[in-house]
Structure formats: C-alpha cells, structure tokens
Structure 1
Amino acid sequence: MAACIDELLNSRVVDAAGTVSVLTADAVPPAYLQLVAASLWRDTADRGASLGPDLMESAARVDAVLGAHLTQVIVTEAGRHHLDAGDVRRWLIRTFVTERGRRATVDEGLVATAGMPNALLAALAERYVLASEWRSGSRRFELFDDRLIPPLQAAVPDWPAADAPAAEIGAIDYLQAALISLADGDLAAARVHADEVLRRDAEDPRIRAQAVMLRADLDEAQGRIEQAERGYREAAQLYESLPDAESSGRALAAAGRLLLRAGRLGSAVEDLQSASARLPAELDVQIDLARALWYSGQRWAAAAIFSTVLTIAPLTPAALAGRGQLRVELGDDAAALDDLDRAVRLGPGGPDTADTADLAGPAGAGDSAETRAARALALARLGRSATAATETSAVLDDAPDSGPVLWRAAGVLQTIGDDSRAADLLERALQARAPALLAHQREQVHRMLRRPGAMA
C-alpha cells in the first residue's frame, strides 16, 4: 500500500509545451485512498491472493482507479443534467487545468459557471471531482486534487487547442461506470449505465456479455426473477459463443442459484449441472448443485457431491453442514454428528446453508439453527437425551418459525418419548414460513403425523 500512497502524493502533469513536471502534495485525500484500497482488495479477492508488490503497481493503478472514478462521475452527472458526457470531460480540463498543467480556479456565476449549470458543479463537488471554497463573498471551484490532472490529460491529450479532441466515452466506459455504481450501492445508476452499454454497438462482444450479466444481477437484486433468469441465460449464450466456457458457467451458476431460491428445483438442478461441468474446480458451484439435488429429494446424489467436495477441501463448513444434515435424514447419526460438530467448530455463520432459508424468506437467524436442530436429533437418537433436549429448547427459541427446525425438534421429542409436544411441533412445522419445509420434508412430517396421502 505504501507505493500507492506515494503515487497519490505525486502527480505527473504536462504543460502546453509537453514538458513533464511532478507536483507533490502534503497529504493524500482520504476519498482517493479509499478508492485505491478498495481496488486492491477487489483484486485480492478475485485472485485469491494476499496483498503483495504485484498487486500494488504504482502510477498505472492509481491513474486507472482515479480515471475510472472520473468517468463514472462524469457519465452519471452528465446524464442527470442532460449533458453530453464527452462535452463535460472536455469542459473539465479546459476550465480547471491551466496551460502550465496546474489547477485553475473559477468563480461561480449566478446560474452557470464557465458555460455549465451550477447544479453540475455542485454535484461534481459532492463526488470529489471539484472542490469549492468561499472567498470575498463568492464561491470558487477548482479540481479536488492535483492527482486528477494526469487522468484528465490522458483523456484529452491536446487540451490546450480550442478544438482538442477527447477520447470518446464509449461502451467500456459506461460498463465501468455501471460496475462502480453497483459497488457503491447505487442500483439505479448502475442500471442506467448498463442500459447505455447495450444501447451502443460495442465492438467487443465480451463487453455486451458483461453488461447483460450485470443487468441480470440488477434484476435479481430488485426482485425481477423472470428478467434476471433471461439475462443470465443470454449472458451464458454470449460467453459460450466467444468461446468462454468459464464465464458461461458462472452465468449458468447464477441462474441456477436464482432458481434454487425461487423453489424451481428441477431447472435449478439442470443449470447447476451445466455450470458444474464448465467449472469443475469451483467448489461453491458443486455445493450449490448438491443443495439443489437435496432440496429436490435426490439425497444420496447430494450426499455424494458433498463428500467429493470434502475430499478436496475437508474444512468446508457449508459442505460439512449439508452432508451432516443429509446424514441425519438418511439415519446415519454417528457420521452426521461428526460432520455437524466439525461444522460448528469451524466458526460462526459457516455451519449452515443460506439457500435453505432463501427458498421461503431471507437468510439470517434460521441458518445456524437448522444445523443445531439436526445435531440435536442425532444426539437424541444416539441416546444423549439430556443434551439433545437442552439444545432443542435453545434452537426453538432462536428459530420459532423455521419449518426444518420444528420438524427436527419434533423428531427429538418423539425419540425421547414426548409424543404430544412432538405432534404440536409437527403441526407448527407445516405452517412455518421462515423458512417453509421443503417438499420431501413436508412428506416426512405427514408421515410422522400418520396422515393419509403421504408418499410411502
């Protein structure tokens, strides 16, 4: 990180004659430091590596990060103020960079400043592109920091000339702006930018595929399930035609997870199987496929996939919890208890499968409760009734409206001989919604209640 801080302090600028000089600041703007740090951490997460010198390459990285921030702000604010983004970028450098390559100060006008509406300047100041201060009763604007001059000069290399051409703001810029807006949590702006990418005729088909995938992510985040599914499938086809099997697999995996949460289990299994074939080394995809098979009633197939994952990565909490719960359902209590104990020991939040809750409601409090309920049932069947009863009482307090928790808690009470309370919990399980019972779990509840119509 030290190398990036040095680069944020030093700005390599060019004057109208082409002479390069370095401007050194006394301090780094915290906003820019945060932008660069976020970029470093995103790269770290993508590469699965620790931060090292190869991820902290200096001026190129800082210029790229600040240039991306500039572009994102320009296209967003230009759109909001009904202006051309290229015009705004040219106006910024012509107005706020002198022929000597230094920051220029401009007095605010009554309605417009240097030909642009004052509302635009205020918005740019809020986004750390411009800075303002009051002097002698009027407000003056300048670039927020010298470090913005290099990326601006790179975008408009011949800025001193009155008709200097600027690099076109194209589909790749709008895609980058959409991704930054998404990272900032501004879904509306991200959608506007993604739609602009698709409106333009991008030369690189990969840019279109990325935009389609991003728009599908936005549709999913905003609850547009059908549109998201169509988008993921279109993205998968676009990536397949490149060809890019890995990216196609990721799009299919996204579609499969979406359908899994929506309860469309058959289609979810198909998509996740296709994704698994394209991404055989992605354990998360294998785990999601196992869940889809499990939820659709194919428990032995699911258990086999969980076991394969654990052969590769023995300390994977989600796989341990999944296989442990499956083993309880299949009656292999000793092996189940071993899996569930290991899952619980591996840390908070890890032991359970969020997608179970997602089938009927938001993931959250019920996640670890399902693992603990399954563990309590295994304990009861293995003769450890007192411990099982204590754990069951605690888990019911934590997840009183979880169908799977109520079902397994009823199993504990039946095992220790409390049939009346067990029947009450089974009735509650049928009505529970946080989450609701899966289809095969509902059949088991009916069977335990000895109701007609349950599958044999």
Structure 2
Amino acid sequence: MTARAGSAPPASPYVGLRAFAAEDRGLFFGRARETRDVAALWQANRLTVLYGASGVGKTSLLQAGVIPRVSTRNADIWPVGRVAPRPAGTTGNPFVAALLASWSPEEEPAAGSLRDFVRGRPERVDRYGDPLPTLISIDQAEELFSDFPRLTEERDEFLTELAELLGERSGTGLRLLLSLREDYLAAVLPYENMLAQGARARFQLRPFESAAALEAARRPLEGTHRRFAAGAAETLVEDLRTIRLTAADGTRSTVLVDTVEPVQLQVVCAALWASLPSSVSKITSIHVREHADVDRFLARFCGRALSAVAAEHDLPASRIRAWLRHTFITELGTRGTAYEGLTQTAGMPNAVVHALEDRHILRAEQRSGSRWYELQHDRLIEPIRQADPGEHLQDARLALHEADVSLAQRQAELALAAAGDDLRIRAQAERLLGDIAVRRQDIGAAQARYRTAASLFEVLGDTASVGNALAGAGELSMRSGRHETAVAELQAAVTRIPTTLHVRTLLARALWHAGQPRAAVIVLNEALAIDGENVDALRARGEILADEGSSVEALSDLGRVRRHQGATTLAARALALAMSGKLEAAEQEAEDALANAEDDGPVLLRVAMVHALSGQDTSAARLAGLALSAAAPEVPPHLRPKAVALASQVLDPSDEGR
C-alpha cells in the first residue's frame, strides 16, 4: 500500500513525546511482561507502587498496557486519577477535590469526600452476584509531594482518608495503584504501611532492553504501508544505545549501553517516519542512516524543550543550555550531578529545573534526604553540547530589541552558520541580518539579506514570510530612490500578503514616486475598501489627491488623520486648503510644514504652490527651485513640470532640468 499522489500523508504510528493513551493500545509494544506483572500485582494487593525514572513510560504502561489488559468482567476499573491541586477557590481538601474530579471528568462530583463518592457509585458484581474487585489508580502521584510544601497537612489528611477507605472496602477488594517518579519513592515510604496494611507490592519500570526496543520500533508499523527491512531496526536501536563522549581535551570515546530510553525511541521513530518520502514502503538500513540521524533528532528535541522552558520563564535559551553544559557535563564528557537547594539548583531557579525535568531533559533521585539532578540519559550529552541555531536566533532578536546591535549580529551569524540544511533557520537568520543591517544604515546589505530570505521562504512555501521579506526590500529601494525597483518588489509582496495594508500603502507611495499617481490611488482605494479607517492609506491618498488638484476629496481624507501629521501631510493639506480658497489657513499649515521640510522635494513644491496661489510669486519660484534640487526625497517625475514652471518665473531657463 502506497500513499496516493495528492492524498494526505498517513498518520504516524509513533506517539512521539506524548504518553500513550488508551486509544493507542494497538500501537503499544515492548512492555508485555511489565503489563502482565503490574496487572497481576494491582489485582492481588491492596497497594501497588509503580515507579521509574521520568520518561520511562509509566503513564503509557498504565493507560495503554495494564488497564486494557484487565478484563472489565473481572474487575471494576475506575478512570486514572490525578491529585494535582485544583485552582484557588476549591473548597475542602485540594487533593481530594482533584482526585474526585479526575474520577468524574464529565461533571462536577456531588460528593465532598472519598467515602461518599465510593458509596454513591453503584457496586458492580460478577455473574454470580459477588462484588467485583475495584481497581483505582493515581498517576503522577509525586504531585502529592512536589511543589506544594505548604499543603503538608492537607496531604496527610488526604492519605489518611484514602487509607481509611481502603480499610473499609478491603473485604470487597478495593485496590490502589500509585504511579510516581523514582526519586519520590522515599517520600511515599512512610505512608505505605498505613495504606497497605501489609498487602503491598512495588514494581520498578526500567528502560527498554534491546529486544523490547526492537519490538517497540517494528510492531507499530504492522498497520501501515511500511516495514523495516532486515537489520534496519537493529541499526536504529544500536545507534540509540551508542553513547559518544568527548572530554574537555577533545579525546573521544564510544560506549555501548544495554538499554534504550522509551521517550528517545519514540522521538526518533516519529521523526524518522515524518522525514521519509511518502513513496518509501520498506525502511532499509540506508534509510535509517540517511534519515534517522539520532543525534540530530535528539538535538532538535533538546532545542525545542529548552526553547519552551526559556519562553515560559522569560530566559534566553542559550543561558539554560550553558547552565546545563556547565552543571551536568564533566570535563571527561560524562554526566555530572547537582543537588536541589531551597530556591535554586546550581544557580538556576528551581521552577526552571522542574520544567526541564518535566520535558525529560533532567532526572532526579533522592540521596541522603536531598534531591539530586542529572541529565536524563548519557545520550543527551552531545545534543546539549551542540549549539542550537534557534537559540542563537532567539538571543539575536532579544539583543536587537535591547539595541545591542553588535551582539545581535554575532548571534544571528552563529545561527546562520549552525543552520546547516535547515532552510527555515537560514531564512529567518537572513531576514534578521537584514533588520540588523537597517539599524546599521547599510541599506545595500539589508536589501541583499531580505532578497535572500525571500528566496529561501519561497522554497519553503511560506508565502507570508516571502511577502514580508520582499516588502522590506521594497521599502529600502524606496529609501534609496530606486522607485521602479520598489514598485516591482512591493507588487510581488502584495500578491503574497494582500490583506497587509501597510504593504499596499508602501506600494501606492512607490507608484506615486515612480510617476504613476492614478495607479497609486487605485491601490489605496483597494486598501481602504478593506479598512476604511486605515490612517496610513487615508493619509497617502489625501496627499496624492491634493497634488492631483482634487482638493475636496483630499481635505476629506486628510481631515480624518489630523493627529501626528508630518511635514508631507501638512504641506498636502495646505495645498488643498489653498485650492479651496482658504488661503489664511493654508499659509499657516504651509509654514508649519516648511519648518520641517529640510531637503524634502514634495513638501517644498507643495508650499511653493500654496505661495503661488497666494500671489507670492517670488517666494513660490524660490521654493520651486529648492524643490527641484532636493534629494530626500526628490520631486516625482510627474510633478517636475509644475516645479519647473514655477521656478522658471525667476530662474534662468538653463536651470529647469535640475
């Protein structure tokens, strides 16, 4: 079976970073023994504690393995519970409220205690009329002990109530499974006797061994058009087991470990599936080597995780990466450790550290009463060391925002150098370097960067980004006086981002400067049909209409943009007023415009025309002469004859061509 041309790509059989859900049980492989053992322990013991490292797959095992295995004919299985305290305002014990809400997700539970909720739930019986065992579970039970030290009393009350419930229902078979991170196992030990009353079990979930990893990689493909060729899955798993270490002196070594982290296997398999051409039905070792670059996939995984944490905590991602390198990678290129303080871990706020743990970058364990952190796996050492171009881009944007242009340029160039074949990063870096060149007043360099960025975005099919880059180049062409080039670039931009009115207005001004005022008005009419109150479009149309002699229409537009008027708008309004016979008002606005005219050709010409209409011929001729020689900007071609006519009243005819 192959994908048809034009059809949507088939859904990936790998879940990636998220946990398996109940509906994913047909894709859940590699945990048959663990599923069987945990299901048996849960049904046989009053308390079962399932524990393991973050990212090892406890939630997946429970939801897609254990619960589907237990027959509903033999047990009453309740929805998986959670105990993360609910938002402020919840009455009663917050852990009780959270657990009841997870047991009754469709509606607010009427009961206010665990006992009342259980009593209010109909008892299920087997075919002989005997009560079925009731299996309840609490996933991520570390939420009882993490980040909520102020709720110690409430936690103890909750666990006491839970223990009493287990005791009351022991005859009818109420069974509790707690799933938690391995580093919180010590926190639950003091409560085990109270909860279990002797009938308890623990099960440690470990990473995949090679055979299980192969099954987890191969078998999800059974319902798809793809298969691994002989040896291909082995190549992928062996690469995941291979750890490459680099010491501070550059010495390199390779270690082959016995296990594979499930989260890493899912990340790499999902990325491999997405990167293969749709026509590939047999995944060979060559495909694995070409497309399943484990280091690259894990580097992207780390980069996305660090960027997300950085955004959440308003920190540069590069700072977090540097902290990880300094704190958790030794000079020998191996994993280091750091203990958690009251508010910080090795100088980093604990909130950031916890977020990195949640995203499977760090793992924690209890030692002598303290929490110690290390990288989730040796396989992350090199990805953490690698420079991430996205982080350089983020730092470059931040530096530019803070007006540190030199730092912004260094970071953007580092992003470009590290981008490799990532066209999006290259395009974004080129666009940002264009912005930086504008800050440096290097217009030529900025235009080159914008045009390169537009070409790269075009390859990516990112139409909006192409339009924005072309608009940037077009605006710079206008500033450089190359109006024909500006028109071409801005027309191309408008076709890609037609609803961006700022770009339409720029195109209209470029057309006006290029001597096409009627075309400019048509473009502005289209813009104002989209948004009739757009200030920039009204201002531009009013100025052009004033030059064209349409004084009533010009005053109508310019009267709607009276705030923050610059010299060009004041001069256009003065000209429209003068043409309407309101000479006194026109003279005042003309003087205000002239005070800021400097070397502005259109402003000087408009004021010259106002003076001419007021009978001040000498002043009009002088200002028209200045307009002809102005360069910032020049008088547009279609207005130069007017300037020449006014200036010739007192100037030598040989000066008319200026």
- Scaled to the shorter chain, the TM-score interval is 0.5 to 0.7
1:192 corresponds to which residue? 410
**Is the CA contact (8 Å cut-off) linking 1:72 and 1:181 kept in structure 2?**
no
1:148 corresponds to which residue? 352
Q: Distance in 2 between matches of 1:170 and 1:97?
A: 24
Deviation at 1:288, TM superposition (A): 0.7
Partner SS, residue 343 of structure 1: coil
Partner SS, residue 307 of structure 1: helix
Partner SS, residue 485 of structure 2: helix
- Which aligned pairs between 1:114-133 and structure 2 lie closer than 5 A? none
TM-score by length of 2: 0.47
**Is the CA contact (8 Å cut-off) linking 1:97 and 1:149 kept in structure 2?**
no
Deviation at 1:322, TM superposition (A): 1.1
Partner SS, residue 146 of structure 2: strand
The partner residue of 2:611 within 413, 435, 441 is: 413
1:287 corresponds to which residue? 505
**Is the CA contact (8 Å cut-off) linking 1:74 and 1:89 kept in structure 2?**
no
Q: Distance in 2 between matches of 1:61 and 1:238?
A: 23
- Which aligned pairs between 1:218-367 and structure 2 lie closer than 5 A? 218-344=436-562, 347-348=563-564, 351=565
**Is the CA contact (8 Å cut-off) linking 2:316 and 2:391 kept in structure 1?**
no
1:370 has 2:568 as partner: yes
Q: Distance in 2 between matches of 1:69 and 1:89?
A: 17
1:208 has 2:426 as partner: yes
CA RMSD of aligned residues (A): 3.4
- Which aligned pairs between 1:167-182 and structure 2 lie closer than 5 A? 167-168=383-384, 169-182=387-400
2:266 corresponds to which residue? none
Deviation at 1:247, TM superposition (A): 1.3
- Which aligned pairs between 1:23-62 and structure 2 lie closer than 5 A? none
AA matched with 1:225: I
2:14 corresponds to which residue? none
Q: Distance in 2 between matches of 1:310 and 1:261?
A: 24
**Is the CA contact (8 Å cut-off) linking 2:424 and 2:460 kept in structure 1?**
yes
Q: Distance in 2 between matches of 1:234 and 1:180?
A: 23
AA matched with 1:404: P
Identical positions, percent: 33
- Which aligned pairs between 1:66-85 and structure 2 lie closer than 5 A? 66=312, 69-73=315-319
Deviation at 1:95, TM superposition (A): 9.0
> Higher helix proportion, which one?
1
**Is the CA contact (8 Å cut-off) linking 2:514 and 2:637 kept in structure 1?**
yes
The partner residue of 1:21 within 108, 127, 146 is: 146
Q: Distance in 2 between matches of 1:104 and 1:317?
A: 52
CA distance 1:401–1:247, shift in 2 (3 Å) = closer
1:422 corresponds to which residue? 620
Stretch deviating more after TM superposition (183-192 or 280-289)? 183-192
Deviation at 1:228, TM superposition (A): 1.7
CA distance 1:200–1:434, shift in 2 (3 Å) = closer
**Is the CA contact (8 Å cut-off) linking 1:66 and 1:151 kept in structure 2?**
no
Q: Distance in 1 between matches of 2:352 and 2:447?
A: 40
Q: Distance in 2 between matches of 1:254 and 1:427?
A: 33
Deviation at 1:307, TM superposition (A): 1.3
Stretch deviating more after TM superposition (378-387 or 294-303)? 378-387
Deviation at 1:427, TM superposition (A): 2.9
CA distance 1:398–1:216, shift in 2 (3 Å) = closer
1:157 has 2:362 as partner: yes
AA matched with 1:157: L
CA distance 1:261–1:73, shift in 2 (3 Å) = farther
1:382 has 2:580 as partner: yes
Deviation at 1:403, TM superposition (A): 3.0
Q: Distance in 2 between matches of 1:226 and 1:395?
A: 31
Q: Distance in 2 between matches of 1:286 and 1:445?
A: 28
Partner SS, residue 383 of structure 1: coil
Deviation at 1:272, TM superposition (A): 0.6
Cα displacement string for residues 351-378 of structure 1 (whole angstroms, at most 9, x for unaligned residues): 5xxxxxxxxxxxxxxxx12111111111
Q: Distance in 1 between matches of 2:144 and 2:439?
A: 49
Deviation at 1:62, TM superposition (A): 8.4
- Which aligned pairs between 1:389-408 and structure 2 lie closer than 5 A? 389-399=587-597, 401-408=599-606
**Is the CA contact (8 Å cut-off) linking 1:237 and 1:248 kept in structure 2?**
yes
Q: Distance in 1 between matches of 2:392 and 2:148?
A: 30
AA matched with 2:315: H
Deviation at 1:417, TM superposition (A): 1.1
Partner SS, residue 331 of structure 1: coil
Cα displacement string for residues 160-186 of structure 1 (whole angstroms, at most 9, x for unaligned residues): 459854453422222222222222222
Partner SS, residue 344 of structure 2: coil
AA matched with 1:263: G
Q: Distance in 1 between matches of 2:519 and 2:327?
A: 57
The partner residue of 1:444 within 642, 647, 656 is: 642
Bigger Cα Rg: 2
Q: Distance in 2 between matches of 1:228 and 1:20?
A: 54
Deviation at 1:438, TM superposition (A): 4.1
Q: Distance in 2 between matches of 1:177 and 1:19?
A: 37
Q: Distance in 2 between matches of 1:20 and 1:174?
A: 37
AA matched with 2:591: S
Partner SS, residue 147 of structure 2: strand
Does 1 or 2 have the higher relative contact order (CA < 8 Å, sep 6+)? 2
AA matched with 1:220: V
2:326 corresponds to which residue? 88
Partner SS, residue 380 of structure 1: helix
CA distance 1:89–1:234, shift in 2 (3 Å) = farther
